[in-house]
Structure 1
Amino acid sequence: MSTTALQKLVTGSVIGPEDDGYEDARHVYNFMIDARPSAIVGCTSAEDVQAAVSHAVATGRAVAVRGGGHSVPGFGTADDAIVVDLSGLTRIEVDPANRTARAGGGATWAMMNDATMAHGLATTGGIVSSTGVGGLTLGGGIGYLNRAHGLSCDNLISAQVVLADGSIVTASEREHPDLFWALRGGGGNFGVVTEFTFRLHPVPENIYGGLILFEREAAGDLFRYFDRFIDDAPRAYGGFPAWHLAPPLPFIPADRVGEPFPVLVSCWTGEHEEGAKVLQGFRDVGPVMAEHVGAIPYTALNSLFDPLLPRGLQHYWKAVFTGDLTDDVIAVHAEHAQRMPAVNSAVHLYPVNGAVHDVATDATAWGHRDAKYATVLAGMWPDPADNAANIAWVKDYYAALAPHSLAGGYVNFASGDDQGKVRDNFGPGYDRLARVKRQYDPGNVFHLNQNIIPA
């Protein structure tokens, strides 16, 4: 397809297979995805998005929406698709007096945090700062602040959306409330969000926290202690237990690099002295191998894992929700995490409680507020030659956790081969989501996602 006709419809760039820059533009964050879209439209306005979507529908091509571009299943591209690239829509406007911020659909959490923390404010973002604001929020939005302030989607005030029919609407509690409900956890099924308006909260410039790596023999006691602690932990605590291979960092002894360790990742937004007492309780559980803990800018904590996760890795992830960390669950983690094949990989267990429980299960489309942990088995590695071994590690781990897990998994962590689990992943609101899908996208134009079939 010639891109000439499409270029006449938009003010942004249009890159096709015949153009310079296509090879770089067609690649997404996960380099396991090797699609060749028909065109990549660099949108600079909602009207550009409107034109690109309408052109795709008129020419019978799929619409792939690319916000921050972090979609592990590669939903931001597809063969012969029209890619609606929102990376030109990154403007962020902060209203410190009203504690709100408006963010373009292509903004990342690094951009968002930098803009809002300049005023001592933030909203719940992710764990990796290069993650897109849009994708994270539409799938729910778990991050360091969710125990204190709820999920990202709980803090969404309104959204500007380009619908499948090309119309541009605002969704909020007052306007298109059914669409607003669905956007908060229903993923990219209902349209292209070109602007988000969020509620902000005071966050200290320097939180107290960081990483503590424990010796492996402490894993069981660490996870059991965390499981008891988090039930009624102060909401100022926003950390999680994890497993990692020790990366080559200055505070880690060189002879321990590459070994698997149970890890505590902590974010304390209260008084530092109190945070130090809280973390000391964890240190008392068992021997510490290495740590990097203290006063740290919130923006730095939010980008702590970025160096391990550059664009261009191979990715394969699985997601599970679990309840209490029973001895059986802890044993599965200990067995499989210690086989972790790549230093980029990670296993994180994010608590789902605190302020997340202040919101009723049916108040938003994010329907797993009864879970205790959202666990991600994140396989990430640099060499495609290692794909089979790394994918097998994730699948075997996932199968071992399945008997101890709740139904479904967090959609933002789900893999591209999880379409058969979509109903469980979206949870009890799925039928309502399907009805909203029928109303706003009856032709399933937006199907490159964890797809909800119109009712």
Structure 2
Amino acid sequence: MELELEENTIYQTFLSELEGKIQILAPGIDGYEESIRRRSTAAEKHAAAVIFPRTTDEVSKIVKVARANRIEFVVCCGWQSAGCASSIENGIVIDLRKMNTVTVHEESKTLTVQGGCTWADVNEEASRWGLATVGGIVNHTSVGGHILGGGYGWLTARNGLAIDNLLEAELVLADGSIVQASSIENPDLFWAIRGAGASFAIATSFTLQAHYQLNPVWSGKLIFTADKLPSIVEFANRHHERAEDQGFIFGFMCPPAGFKPVIIAVPFYNGTQEDAKKYFKELLDIGPVIDQTSWMPYEQANATFNDHVSFGARKSSGSSTVKAPFTLSLLQAVFDEFARFIGSNRDAGVERSLVVFTLIPYKKIREVKLEDMAYANRGDYYNADVWLRWKDPALDHKARAFARAMSERIHQIGRTAKDQGVGAYANNAEHQLDAMGLFGVNTDQLVELKKKYDPDNVFRTWRDV
């Protein structure tokens, strides 16, 4: 293995330039194989080296060395990309996971979060102070990718998107320079990173607005048989009419036991347990076959979907939106198509795939205008996502095509008004849409800012703006 390392010129370049001060893994070194793991095995590539900086200055140094030697690189925050945005063949991965400190500023109720943190890191530290900020619905995802792409979570109805709670970011630009971006410093760059950040810079630190979260919440998974779909649709429409900051996610999945598609539902109530049971009584009365709901800390609710997007197997995702009220015919058609795909590919390991509709009230999201930041998925609609999981590489093309087709079908039937947002969540859309499809009216401004901050298009693996 020593000979292989000696022949790895990229590894040798960084070993020499960084003077052994930063951990570098390459093929043949213990820990390398683990370092190139990704949530989707289909997204794993063999980098020439994986480098683990601990400070923003070290990130800057790595970028400068890479640029000077014309070495391509990608950034990894938490292994979560189902696409290949954080993987590279024969280049380097700048892995931020050693930069995982969360600092709570009690007086201002703000958090300083390093770019390699997960939402579990943030939730754990913030909860010690009775605080929370808008995170995802899976807590092992990285904060970096989630925030820069928008950031939906259970607290969105009350506090907006993650980017709506972003106050400042420390960034390393394509030339290695370190800058701050906020409404005061580099405001044009701050505009761009809130929605398209991964296409502009490496975010090494975020300052986020936090909010008091002193009470537990009521949440957890419910499983219903397929024949309950009419009642679920009826409840979803009722929820749409009256929800203020209560969340409700429902969709379709196929548990390995029995291999029959079922309906999964996850309620979220940020208030008293008595009020929660009253609000969701109609849902509970439908009669779930499995009821895992309980009164729990917010940080526990933030982990409800962890096992559905865990590591292992090959994955693909698609994103679209749908307007309420929901029609039974639409959802029955989606369920039937999903069931046929699962049934015809059961030998390929497609169980644990999901189609989910996220009914988190959008009033707070709509308070921010489309032009106020790069993010353009704001409208009177809900996100609908297809999360496919399979084991057989022979299914790659078919599975990805199904995810795209299913997302487009939902989008066409539930099409949003032209004067509203794009109707696609960039964090879940993989590469199904181009820049115009994701950033809509903000695309031209993004293109101009890209020329200013990244003229050589160094940051192109997430979205090629």
Query: What TM-score, normalized to structure 1?
Result: 0.91
Specify the code of the residue in structure 2 equivalent to 1:289: V
SS at match of 2:461: coil
Q: 2:47 aligns with which of 37, 40, 43?
A: 37
Matches within 5 A, 1:321-340: 321-324=321-324, 325-339=326-340
Structure-2 residue corresponding to 1:410: 425
Structure-1 residue corresponding to 2:6: none
* Aligned-pair CA distance for 1:339: 3.7
Structure 2: gaps (5+ residues): 1-8, 343-349, 416-421
Taking the aligned partners of 2:186 and 2:437, their CA distance within structure 1 comes to: 26
User: Are residue 102 (structure 1) and residue 112 (structure 2) matched?
Assistant: yes
Taking the aligned partners of 1:380 and 1:433, their CA distance within structure 2 comes to: 33
Taking the aligned partners of 2:220 and 2:436, their CA distance within structure 1 comes to: 36
CA contact (8 A) 2:117 2:144 kept: yes
Q: Please identify which structure carries the higher helix content.
A: 2
Structure-2 residue corresponding to 1:252: none
* Aligned-pair CA distance for 1:198: 0.5
User: Are residue 434 (structure 1) and residue 443 (structure 2) matched?
Assistant: no
Structure-1 residue corresponding to 2:4: none
Specify the code of the residue in structure 1 equivalent to 2:317: W
* Aligned-pair CA distance for 1:408: 4.6
SS at match of 1:74: coil
Structure-1 residue corresponding to 2:370: 361
Q: 1:423 aligns with which of 417, 436, 454?
A: 436
List per-residue Cα deviations over 1:48-80 (Å, max 9, x = no partner).
Answer: 111111222222222201011211102111112
Specify the code of the residue in structure 2 equivalent to 1:151: L
SS at match of 1:157: strand
SS at match of 1:317: strand
SS at match of 1:32: helix
Q: Cα–Cα, structure 1 residues 240 and 43, in superposed 2: closer, same or farther, change >3 Å?
A: same
Structure-1 residue corresponding to 2:354: 346
CA RMSD of aligned residues (A): 2.1
* Aligned-pair CA distance for 1:391: 3.7
* Aligned-pair CA distance for 1:4: 3.1
* Aligned-pair CA distance for 1:230: 2.2
* Aligned-pair CA distance for 1:233: 0.8
* Aligned-pair CA distance for 1:36: 1.8
* Aligned-pair CA distance for 1:178: 1.0
Structure-2 residue corresponding to 1:251: none
Taking the aligned partners of 2:341 and 2:53, their CA distance within structure 1 comes to: 39
Taking the aligned partners of 2:362 and 2:423, their CA distance within structure 1 comes to: 17
Range with bigger deviation, 287-296 or 382-391: 382-391
Taking the aligned partners of 1:144 and 1:9, their CA distance within structure 2 comes to: 44
Taking the aligned partners of 2:25 and 2:315, their CA distance within structure 1 comes to: 26
Q: 2:121 aligns with which of 111, 117, 121?
A: 111
Structure-2 residue corresponding to 1:244: 253
CA contact (8 A) 2:251 2:265 kept: yes
Structure-2 residue corresponding to 1:188: 198
CA contact (8 A) 1:63 1:448 kept: no
Matches within 5 A, 1:23-422: 23-235=33-245, 237-246=246-255, 258-284=259-285, 286-324=286-324, 325-339=326-340, 341=342, 342-351=350-359, 353-384=362-393, 387=396, 390-391=399-400, 393-406=402-415, 407-416=422-431, 418=432, 420-422=433-435
Query: What TM-score, normalized to structure 2?
Result: 0.89
* Aligned-pair CA distance for 1:393: 4.1
Specify the code of the residue in structure 1 equivalent to 2:379: D
Taking the aligned partners of 2:241 and 2:362, their CA distance within structure 1 comes to: 8
Taking the aligned partners of 1:365 and 1:378, their CA distance within structure 2 comes to: 25
CA contact (8 A) 1:219 1:334 kept: no
* Aligned-pair CA distance for 1:348: 1.6
Specify the code of the residue in structure 1 equivalent to 2:164: D
Range with bigger deviation, 207-216 or 185-194: 207-216
Range with bigger deviation, 397-406 or 137-146: 397-406
Taking the aligned partners of 1:232 and 1:171, their CA distance within structure 2 comes to: 38
SS at match of 2:444: helix
Range with bigger deviation, 53-62 or 1-10: 1-10
* Aligned-pair CA distance for 1:108: 0.3
Range with bigger deviation, 26-35 or 433-442: 26-35
Size of the alignment, in residue pairs? 440
SS at match of 1:223: helix
Specify the code of the residue in structure 2 equivalent to 1:422: A
Structure-2 residue corresponding to 1:254: none
Specify the code of the residue in structure 1 equivalent to 2:88: A
SS at match of 2:221: strand
Taking the aligned partners of 2:65 and 2:380, their CA distance within structure 1 comes to: 41
List per-residue Cα deviations over 1:69-108 (Å, max 9, x = no partner).
Answer: 2111021111122211101100110112221111110000
SS at match of 2:292: strand
Structure-1 residue corresponding to 2:3: none
* Aligned-pair CA distance for 1:310: 2.8
* Aligned-pair CA distance for 1:445: 0.7
Taking the aligned partners of 2:61 and 2:450, their CA distance within structure 1 comes to: 21
* Aligned-pair CA distance for 1:449: 0.6
SS at match of 1:213: strand
* Aligned-pair CA distance for 1:238: 2.3
CA contact (8 A) 1:61 1:80 kept: no
Specify the code of the residue in structure 1 equivalent to 2:92: I
CA contact (8 A) 2:320 2:408 kept: no
Specify the code of the residue in structure 1 equivalent to 2:143: V
Taking the aligned partners of 1:395 and 1:360, their CA distance within structure 2 comes to: 28
Taking the aligned partners of 1:364 and 1:231, their CA distance within structure 2 comes to: 29
Structure 1: gaps (5+ residues): 249-256
* Aligned-pair CA distance for 1:134: 0.5
Taking the aligned partners of 1:330 and 1:439, their CA distance within structure 2 comes to: 45
Taking the aligned partners of 2:233 and 2:330, their CA distance within structure 1 comes to: 10
User: Are residue 451 (structure 1) and residue 464 (structure 2) matched?
Assistant: yes
Specify the code of the residue in structure 2 equivalent to 1:318: G
List per-residue Cα deviations over 1:247-287 (Å, max 9, x = no partner).
Answer: 66xxxxxxxx5432222211111122111111102234x34
Taking the aligned partners of 1:312 and 1:244, their CA distance within structure 2 comes to: 17
Specify the code of the residue in structure 2 equivalent to 1:349: F
Taking the aligned partners of 2:130 and 2:231, their CA distance within structure 1 comes to: 36
